[in-house]
């Protein structure tokens, strides 16, 4: 599992709402959901700001109220993108630490047992899919 830059995740989330889910977890359904919801929130913030701006009781310069509301929403999007990346990095660090504490595989094990151990580690979330594939390829190359 790769570590992701929280600042970049937040920036992506501001530019395209929900895109931090693609950058951090590559999870398309969450991206689509967050894109739809957050785009709607931005649209509603603009509508509310314009309606407040039009009212006769408020004499603010043109665009101040909708701009302020949109800025608040974008700040929240930046913060949520950063938090997503920080949480993922923390999970990655915890998994790597836990994996380092596990006893290493004995080189005398037969390849079938080693492959089963690797699959079990992947199922427990201790190694990523990429690590599993790399180690499987290594074991299979030594097997031949």
DSSP 8-43: HHHHHHHHSTTHHHHHHT--HHHHHHHHHHHHHHHH
87 plus 21 within the same structural domain: yes
User: Residue 26: is it exposed, middle or buried by C-beta count within 10 angstroms (0-12/13-18/19+)?
Assistant: exposed
Name which of 24-28, 36-40, 49-53, 110-114 the model is least confident about. Answer: 110-114
Q: What band does 109 get if pLDDT is binned at 50, 70 and 90?
A: low
35 plus 18 within the same structural domain: yes
Q: Which of 64, 83, 99 is the last residue of a domain?
A: 99
List pLDDT tens digits, range 112-141: 788 888 888 888 888 888 888 888 888 888
74 plus 26 within the same structural domain: yes
Query: How many domains would you assign to the chain?
Result: 2
| pLDDT at res. 43 | 95
93 plus 131 within the same structural domain: no
108 plus 91 within the same structural domain: no
**SS3 of residue 112 by DSSP:** helix
115 plus 141 within the same structural domain: yes
83 plus 108 within the same structural domain: no
% of the chain at pLDDT higher than 90: 43
Name which of 77-81, 96-100, 126-130 the model is least confident about. Answer: 96-100
| pLDDT at res. 118 | 85
78 plus 62 within the same structural domain: yes
Separation between Cα atoms, residue 107 and residue 129, nearest integer Å: 22
The range of the structural domain enclosing residue 79 comes to: 1-99
């Amino acid at each position: 599992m790769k570590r992701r830059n929280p600042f970049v995740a937040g920036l992506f989330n501001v530019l395209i709402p929900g895109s931090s889910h693609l950058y951090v977890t590559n999870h398309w359904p969450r991206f689509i959901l967050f894109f739809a919801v957050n785009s709607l929130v931005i649209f509603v913030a603009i509508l509310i700001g314009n309606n407040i701006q039009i009212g006769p009781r408020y004499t603010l310069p043109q665009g101040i109220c909708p701009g302020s509301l949109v800025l608040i929403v974008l700040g929240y999007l930046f913060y949520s993108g950063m938090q997503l990346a920080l949480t993922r990095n923390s999970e990655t660090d915890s998994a790597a630490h836990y994996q380092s504490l596990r006893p290493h595989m004995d080189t005398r094990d037969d390849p079938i047992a080693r492959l089963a151990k690797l699959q079990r580690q992947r199922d427990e979330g201790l190694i990523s899919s990429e690590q599993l594939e790399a180690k499987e390829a290594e074991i299979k190359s030594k097997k031949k």
